[in-house]
Chains A and B, each alone.
Chain A
Amino acid sequence: MKSIEDIFQLDSPYLLTKDQKKKMLDPYLHDLDNLHYEKCISYRKIVDAIPGGRNKQSDLYLPVRLFKNFDLRSISSDQILKTLTSSGTTSQQVSKIYIDKITAINQTKALVKIMQHYIGKNRLPMLIIDHPNVIKDRTLFSARGAGIRGLWTFGRNHTYALDNEMNVDDDAIDAFIEKFKHQKSIIFGFTFMIWKYFIQELEKQGRTIDLCNSIVFHSGGWKKLQDDAVDNETFKSKVKQLTEVSHVHNFYGMVEQVGTIYVECEKGYLHAPIFSDVKILDPATMKERPHKQSGVIAVESILPVSYPGHRLLTEDLGTVMGEDDCECGKKGKYFLIHGRLKKAEIRGCSDTYAVE
């Protein structure tokens, strides 16, 4: 397996056009096909079981739910650095993602490259829309805690906007604003937390704050906000109205793909960085769909060497809106997410392996 160091040396993860990107990624993905086939027995069995077997290996997108059912790893137990877990929203069963040293480094470097594109190399004052206890227990790798820990690197003077009872901590926020008045800062939180415990609270109190020049990054899905009929546009306009922040970036990511996040550009589209490509598949046939047609999202990544996560089938629906020609100037594919796939819609290979 060739080192992917040269990819980390690129100035930006959004420079390469379709053909350049394919030329760069394909050899790595091919190496990962071989590596995981060789090292991960469960993965090998799945490859051997699909029609066409190894010849069709590059068409195989491993359904993420398989990480709940099987121990999918390509390293020995003494190479495990940490195990990431996610309970998911619909199942009690926990996904287990095994990370070794190299994969951990790849993940960190990729995330740094992506985030530096948006915020630069300097760490910025960081306001976290959550309560301080969310990261205290390091054995509890909750999605929220893990997300905050992941972005922690990019901040300084980390300040929590909520107290342990989930109330807005006015003193903390006032002190933050006073100290970093009109400096570029990061505001980070989960979409639901920002909406419910911050934006709605400010609105209830009839209070506005001035965090202009800050950048909001948020993630975690819109599912919990659907009842309130909050979409991305509503979210952004309320944030602007109550906090003066006009740079708001949603991002899409998953525990099976730590390091790769798909960040929303100023035009409202999520972008695939150089470390990853995104494909939209027809859930019935598993064939790739043309741009502008919705389907289930499959992701490719060159980061995971410790587990077969280089070609994954997510449980999310989305649409690739185009490639290399987003008005924001970034190259690569840009896409939208429409929410979770209903289980009944999954057919084809994910059905074959579903053990629920």
Chain B
Amino acid sequence: MSNKKMITCFVEALGISEEDVVNTLEYNSIPQWDSVAHMQLIAALEEAFDIMLDTDDIIDMSSVAKARQILQKYDIGF
């Protein structure tokens, strides 16, 4: 459930397809995941999970795997 929600956030914020949202996908490794899209992603995740990420989280969120880790920090189970 959470995983699906997270993937939807990536799909919508970055404008990529579901199959592209894999653990190894990294920030700045594709043109769609640039700094502007990153902020949209943050906003999408915050809204979907009703959390507020701090600045360190935003910087640390350097891959899909890392995003999941950070969300777990906010008691979101995967």
User: Could you tell me which A residues sit within 8 Å of B by CB distance?
Assistant: 81-82, 101, 104, 108-109, 112, 115-116, 121-123, 135, 138, 149, 152-154, 156
Q: Chain A residue with minimal CB distance to B36?
A: A138
A-B contact pairs, 22 of them (CB 8 A): A82-B34, A101-B28, A104-B28, A108-B59, A109-B59, A112-B55, A112-B56, A112-B59, A116-B55, A121-B54, A121-B56, A122-B55, A123-B52, A123-B53, A123-B55, A149-B36, A149-B39, A152-B39, A153-B39, A153-B59, A154-B55, A156-B46
Q: Chain B residue with minimal CB distance to A101?
A: B28
Complexed CA–CA distance, A116 and B54 (Å): 10
Tell yes or no: B23 within 8 A of A by CB.
Answer: no
Interface Cβ pair total, 8 Å cutoff: 35
Tell yes or no: B58 within 8 A of A by CB.
Answer: yes
Q: Which of B24-61 contact A (CB under 8 A)?
A: 28, 34-36, 39, 46, 52-56, 58-59
Beta-carbon contact of A123 and B34 below 8 Å: no
Residue from the list A81, A115, A135 in contact with B55, Cβ < 8 A:
A115
Beta-carbon contact of B35 and A149 below 8 Å: yes
Query: Contacts of B55 on A, CB cut-off 8 Å?
Result: 112, 115-116, 121-123, 153-154
Interchain nearest-CB distance for B78 vs A (Å) = 24
Beta-carbon contact of B28 and A81 below 8 Å: yes
Q: Which of B58-74 contact A (CB under 8 A)?
A: 58-59
Beta-carbon contact of A135 and B36 below 8 Å: yes
15 extra interchain contacts, Cβ-Cβ under 8 A, other than A81-B28, A82-B34, A138-B34?
A108-B59, A112-B55, A112-B56, A112-B59, A115-B55, A116-B55, A121-B56, A122-B54, A122-B55, A123-B53, A135-B36, A138-B36, A152-B39, A154-B55, A156-B52
Query: Contacts of A153 on B, CB cut-off 8 Å?
Result: 39, 55, 58-59
Complexed CA–CA distance, A138 and B36 (Å): 8
Complexed CA–CA distance, A115 and B58 (Å): 14
Interchain nearest-CB distance for B35 vs A (Å) = 6
Interchain nearest-CB distance for A264 vs B (Å) = 21
Query: Contacts of B34 on A, CB cut-off 8 Å?
Result: 82, 138
Query: Contacts of A112 on B, CB cut-off 8 Å?
Result: 55-56, 59
Complexed CA–CA distance, A81 and B28 (Å): 7
Query: Contacts of B52 on A, CB cut-off 8 Å?
Result: 122-123, 156
Q: Chain B residue with minimal CB distance to A81?
A: B28
Complexed CA–CA distance, A149 and B34 (Å): 11
Interchain nearest-CB distance for B22 vs A (Å) = 19
Query: Contacts of A81 on B, CB cut-off 8 Å?
Result: 28
Complexed CA–CA distance, A22 and B36 (Å): 35
Complexed CA–CA distance, A122 and B55 (Å): 6
5 shortest interchain CB distances as A-B pairs = A121-B54, A138-B36, A153-B58, A152-B39, A112-B55
Query: Contacts of B59 on A, CB cut-off 8 Å?
Result: 108-109, 112, 153
